[in-house]
């Protein structure tokens, strides 16, 4: 696979296009994901403003995630074709020789070995990068599904898995970005200026330095296994229908991933209340005692409110409301502060989240916290009687003590 100028074909066009698609999707995911993990950082705020708001940022992040998953499906189908139909050597699989090469490289770098290890088509470093990417993609897909579809997730797992998935997703994202910048970019594009994934070719000199064993196989004519045309067509007839079914199933799974439910995080401004709060027109004549919980079948108010008429109440954050919100909402809106909203303390609760205040003292009708709860179906859904208590507390001024 060489020509008269001493260049060797290393990656075909299809593989280079696949790499470029994964590169662009990964970069987009990093640029749109990290601002969501570190929302208060100045650079994150600048990126969100540049994009046009958090909703645009999330939409771009979701599209990039879909491209990454489509690329993964394509990679699996191509891998099956190359391994079964073409009978290509599975040179990316780890082996004992990789451990030996890694050890010899370490000894050489610290001056205890006389020579650097000679390696074949893929070095031990390239294999480590590849399988780290495979592992990272698996983690991101699983945790991404949990955050994208929280209601479907909590049908099978406890609610605590949602903040756990958020932590794992963000941590893996930071690790992946650092690995690409520190490890891949330096080792491949800076230290050796390896452009073969973009040009598809590598010079004889670079081959001799990076992949001497592969170069020797190419010159000996044994780099690729001979392919029998009849056997190839027979394996194609077997594999292609199976691959088609697998592709349809995977694409169906991806469609379900994206459209299982419409409960992905959205900013409060886009929330539209489906039920308004009924507030009595008469004032409460005197402060009342903290009401005991009525029966669980207490219905939610269904009549439109008439405004934010203040009412007196002995309900405060310290004696009732804080415990209610921490118990039901703390798994997502505690220290993890999903969407920037922390309901673990009075100060944090009144501060609100990334989209502003969620508790408007004296006006439960317009408080996003109440609007969200009355819509129903929230992972941290309050009981009807608990919602009534929070409404009474807000209309009474949302006092702390």
Secondary structure class of 358 (helix, strand, coil): coil
Q: Token pair 């007196």 is at which residue?
A: 312
Q: Is 266 helix (H, G, I), strand (E, B) or coil?
A: coil
Task: Name the least confident of 117-126, 259-268, 351-360.
Answer: 259-268
pLDDT > 90 in the chain, percent: 43
Packing angle, helices 322-333 and 161-178, rounded to 10: 40
The residue with greater pLDDT, 126 or 1, is 126
Q: Angle 48-36-141 (CA atoms, 0-180°, nearest 5)?
A: 125
What's residue 313's pLDDT? 73
pLDDT (tens digit, 9 = 90+) per residue, 142-173? 999 988 888 888 888 888 898 999 999 999 99
Q: Assign 3-class secondary structure to 89-111.
A: CCCCCCCHHHHHHHHHHHHHHCC
Which of 10-19, 66-75, 249-258, 323-332 shows the lowest per-residue confidence on average (mean pLDDT)? Answer: 323-332
DSSP classification of residue 2: B
Neighbours of 330 (CB within 10 A): 19
Q: What is the band of 279 on the pLDDT scale with cuts at 50, 70, 90?
A: low
- What pLDDT does 100 receive? 96
Lowest mean pLDDT among 158-172, 196-210, 270-284: 270-284
Residue 60 CB contacts under 8 Å (≥ 6 apart), including other chains: 28, 32, 51
Report the percentage of the chain scoring pLDDT > 70. 86
* Tally of residues, the chain: 401
Across the chain, mean pLDDT equals: 84
Give the tens place of pLDDT for each residue, 102-147: 999 999 999 999 999 999 999 999 999 999 999 999 999 999 998 8
Least confident of 99-113, 330-344, 358-372: 330-344
**How far is 224 from 216, CA to CA, in rounded Å?**
12
Confidence (pLDDT) at 233? 94
Decide: 202 and 8 in contact? Cβ < 8 Å.
yes
Q: Which residue has the higher pLDDT, 283 or 327?
A: 327
- Residue 82 in this model has a pLDDT that exceeds 80: yes
| Geometric angle at alpha carbon 110, from 108 and 116, rounded to 5° | 10
Sequence-distant (≥ 6) Cβ neighbours of residue 148 within 8 angstroms: 62, 257, 258, 260, 264
Please give the structure tokens belonging to residue 327: 């118990």
pLDDT of residue 2: 47
pLDDT confidence bin for 376, thresholds 50/70/90 = confident
Residues 58-77 as b or e (16 or more Cβ within 10 Å = b): bebbbebbebbbbbbbbeeb
Q: Write down all domains in the chain, each with its CATH number in brackets.
A: 7-259 (1.20.950.20), 268-395 (no CATH)
Nearest to 385 by CA among 303, 323, 321, 296: 296
What ranges in 196-345 are assigned the alpha helix state H?
Answer: 196-199, 204-210, 212-220, 229-259, 322-333
What pLDDT, in 10s, does the model give residues 204-255?
998 998 899 999 999 888 888 888 899 999 999 999 999 999 999 999 999 9
């Amino acid at each position: 696979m060489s020509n008269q100028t001493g260049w060797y074909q290393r990656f075909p066009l299809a593989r280079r296009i696949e790499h470029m698609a994964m590169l662009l999707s990964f970069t987009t995911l990093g640029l749109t994901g990290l601002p969501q993990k570190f929302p208060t950082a100045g650079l994150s705020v600048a990126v969100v403003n540049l994009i046009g708001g958090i909703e645009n940022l999330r939409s771009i992040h979701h599209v990039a995630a879909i491209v990454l998953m489509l690329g993964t499906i394509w990679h699996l189908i191509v891998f099956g074709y190359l391994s079964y139909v073409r009978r290509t050597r599975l040179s990316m699989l780890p082996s004992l020789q990789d451990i030996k090469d890694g050890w010899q490289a370490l000894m050489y770098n610290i001056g205890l070995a006389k020579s650097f290890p000679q390696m074949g088509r893929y070095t031990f470093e390239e294999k480590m990068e590849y399988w780290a990417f495979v592992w990272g993609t698996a983690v991101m897909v699983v945790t991404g599904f949990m955050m994208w579809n929280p209601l479907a997730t909590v049908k099978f797992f406890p609610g605590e898995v949602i903040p756990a998935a958020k932590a794992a997703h963000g941590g893996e994202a930071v690790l992946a970005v650092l690995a690409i910048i520190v490890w891949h970019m330096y080792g491949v594009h800076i230290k050796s200026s390896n452009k073969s994934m973009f040009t598809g070719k590598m010079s004889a000199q670079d081959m001799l330095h990076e992949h001497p064993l592969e170069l020797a196989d190419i010159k000996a004519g044994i780099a690729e296994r001979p392919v029998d045309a009849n056997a190839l067509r027979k394996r194609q007839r077997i594999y292609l229908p199976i691959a088609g079914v697998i592709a349809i199933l995977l694409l169906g799974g991806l469609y379900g991933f994206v459209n299982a439910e419409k409960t992905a995080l959205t900013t409060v401004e886009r929330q539209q209340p489906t039920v308004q709060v009924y507030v009595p027109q008469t004032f409460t004549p005197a402060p009342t005692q903290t009401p005991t919980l009525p029966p669980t079948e207490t219905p939610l108010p269904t009549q439109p409110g008439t405004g934010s008429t203040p009412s007196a109440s002995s309900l405060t954050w310290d004696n009732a409301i804080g415990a209610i919100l921490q118990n039901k909402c703390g798994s997502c809106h505690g220290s993890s502060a999903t969407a920037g909203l922390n309901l673990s303390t009075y100060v944090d609760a009144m501060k609100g989240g990334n989209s502003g205040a969620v508790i408007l003292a004296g006006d439960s009708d317009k408080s996003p916290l109440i609007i969200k709860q009355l819509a129903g179906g929230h992972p941290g859904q309050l009981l009807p009687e608990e919602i009534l208590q929070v409404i009474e507390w807000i209309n009474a001024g949302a006092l702390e003590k």
